[in-house]
Amino acid sequence: MEVLSILQFNSRMCHKNAKPADRIKPDQSSHTAWPTGSHVLQRFHQVRCGVPSISDSQTSTAMNLFAAQEQANREHARPLAARMRPESLDELIGQSHLLGEGQLLRRMLDADRKHGRFYRLGSMIFYGPPGTGKTSLAELIANNTNRHFCRLNATMAGVKDVRSVLEKARDDLASEGRQTICFIDEIHRFSRSQQDILLPDVEDGSICLIGATTTNPVISLVAPLISRSRIFEFQELTHGEMRGILDRALGDADRGLAGHDTDVDEEAMNLLVELSDGDARRALSALEIAVLSVTATTRKVDLQVAKESVQQRILRFDPTGDDHYDVASAYIKSIRGSDPDASLYWLARMLESGEDPRFIARRLVIAASEDIGNADPQALLIACAAFQSTETIGMPECRINLAQATTYLACSLKSNASCTGIDAALRDVRSRTVLPVPTHLRDRHYDGGKQFERGDVYQSPHLTQDGWCNQDYLGVTRTYYEPTDRGHEVIFRDRLQELRQRREQSRQNE
């Protein structure tokens, strides 16, 4: 009877000769969900098979049950690092210089919670190494604010996605008076044009932008976006903070690993902290692997299990990122500071992280002239030999050539007189009147060149007894090269002092 009544109803509503009152009016379609043909056929088969009718409330209940189960499945698949994200600012470990009592970011967040949507939070850039809490803090702000929240990952989002989020944010602000927090992870992956799209809405406050990046924002982000945002630099977590995070994970039965009833040795914990380099995500991932791997056996994580869980230590390396330039800078400054031990450490750090050894060899050649110069002219020859050996041999053997050149340069006497001399000359060329070439120094080795001589004739020093003659080579008196009293430059200094005195004496005699 149910199927018959549905078929009769559908026929009556769709029949072209039906009365106007019986037909579905266009303006009623948005309020009444009439059964379609597919729904009728589906219900027809259900009645034939004895399936009872399901009410809307029953359907909603079933859907909620499915949603709960799906959420539970997703939660079960989340790694420990994701499950242990802090649920309040008090749970967030580390970054006390930003979130400590009285610090700027903490004051901003407290004011936001107090005043709600009437407080303008402003756009922010979270900058720092991986695993230091940038994403966790962004999620805490989202969970404790009266604003809409949307999240994008710059590695996946395109211009269309960004425009869609911005358009919705403007509509929500106009209709509800609620601002949208737009969190963009890995924001440095956005191109310049994608970053420019954000500028108008950041400028007028339609969105509160929170960008997370592991690279220096001054280098990776456009200047207008930086000027409209506050930059907060996150620091690597200390060993004590890392230990606190691991202890919390081991003691948490709901989100952590307490339910596995596993004992972790003190040595194993110290190793996990030491090899994680201040990265909480890396430490939690290694701890989870270690605990789960012994759950069915000894239920004890010792030093060996911890080593196997960490496996090979992976150093952060980005050929265009901060670490690349920071470590290279530390390397050169250690050579300049005559510390061969520090120089070798930074050399090993670069080689182990995957730095191109040819880049290191080029830096050695530069340092040999810039920081050692004529105090030890042999340094440049050794650096060039190391560069050639690196090109010829390659890794891993060229590490020995690089180490030899590194220690030689670090132990050499230092002088930057050549470098400062050329820089001073360049400043004069760029900012002062250009000096003409003295006539006696001009080239005359072409046909007819002799006729342009104006009395001054070039004198070759080789024709004199001591290989020097009093001759003007610049036209004015200027001093650029000032040898130091170190190494081989002592000889140069004494020689130049003698020649300058003789030149001054000749001027006085004239």
Phi-psi region of 102 (alpha: psi -120 to 50; beta: other; left: phi over 0): left
Whole-number pLDDT of residue 16: 44
Q: What is the rounded end-to-end Cα distance, in angstroms, of the chain?
A: 132
Beta strands per DSSP E along 42-169? 123-127, 148-153
Q: What average pLDDT score do residues 236-262 get?
A: 90
Whole-number pLDDT of residue 439: 81
| Confidence category of residue 21, pLDDT binned at 50, 70, 90 | very low
Q: Which residues are CB-neighbours of 43 under 8 A, at least 6 positions away?
A: 2, 3, 6, 35, 53
Whole-number pLDDT of residue 58: 52
pLDDT exceeds 60 at position 46: no
| Confidence category of residue 474, pLDDT binned at 50, 70, 90 | confident
* Nearest C-alpha neighbor of 187 from the set 211, 151, 216, 214: 211
Q: What average pLDDT score do residues 234-245 get?
A: 92
Could you tell me if 131 and 245 are in contact, meaning their C-beta atoms sit under 8 angstroms apart?
Answer: no
Whole-number pLDDT of residue 141: 86
Whole-number pLDDT of residue 450: 59
| Confidence category of residue 179, pLDDT binned at 50, 70, 90 | confident
Whole-number pLDDT of residue 455: 53
Q: Say which range, 139-153, 185-199, 263-277, 383-397, has the weakest mean pLDDT.
A: 139-153
Whole-number pLDDT of residue 22: 43
| Confidence category of residue 25, pLDDT binned at 50, 70, 90 | very low
Could you tell me if 121 and 208 are in contact, meaning their C-beta atoms sit under 8 angstroms apart?
Answer: yes
| Confidence category of residue 4, pLDDT binned at 50, 70, 90 | very low
For all residues of the chain together, what is the average pLDDT?
82
pLDDT exceeds 70 at position 231: yes
Whole-number pLDDT of residue 31: 41
Share of the chain above pLDDT 70, in %: 80
| Confidence category of residue 344, pLDDT binned at 50, 70, 90 | very high
Residue listed under structure tokens 């400054």: 333
pLDDT exceeds 60 at position 229: yes
Alpha helices in 150-279 (DSSP H): 159-176, 192-204, 217-220, 223-227, 239-251, 266-275
Q: What average pLDDT score do residues 480-509 get?
A: 87
Whole-number pLDDT of residue 24: 40
Q: What average pLDDT score do residues 186-197 get?
A: 91
Q: pLDDT tens digit string along 11-20?
A: 444 444 444 4
pLDDT exceeds 80 at position 137: yes
Q: pLDDT tens digit string along 361-392?
A: 999 999 999 999 999 999 999 999 999 999 99
pLDDT exceeds 70 at position 62: no
Q: Angle at which helices 357-367 and 322-336 pack, to 10 degrees? A: 40
Whole-number pLDDT of residue 110: 82
Residue 388 C-alpha from the chain's centroid: 33
Q: Say which range, 87-91, 118-122, 333-337, 417-421, has the weakest mean pLDDT.
A: 118-122
Q: What average pLDDT score do residues 63-71 get?
A: 67
What's the whole-model pTM score? Answer: 0.62
Q: pLDDT tens digit string along 204-227?
A: 888 999 999 988 898 889 999 999
> Cα(99)–Cα(237) distance, rounded to whole angstroms?
14
Whole-number pLDDT of residue 12: 47
Q: What average pLDDT score do residues 155-162 get?
A: 90
pLDDT exceeds 90 at position 340: yes
Q: What average pLDDT score do residues 324-339 get?
A: 93
Q: Say which range, 114-128, 165-179, 262-276, 315-329, has the weakest mean pLDDT.
A: 315-329
Whole-number pLDDT of residue 55: 52
Share of the chain above pLDDT 90, in %: 40
Q: pLDDT tens digit string along 489-503?
A: 999 999 998 888 888
Give the chain's domains with CATH numbers.
2-54 (no CATH), 95-233 (3.40.50.300), 239-310 (1.10.8.60), 322-414 (1.20.272.10), 435-509 (1.10.3710)
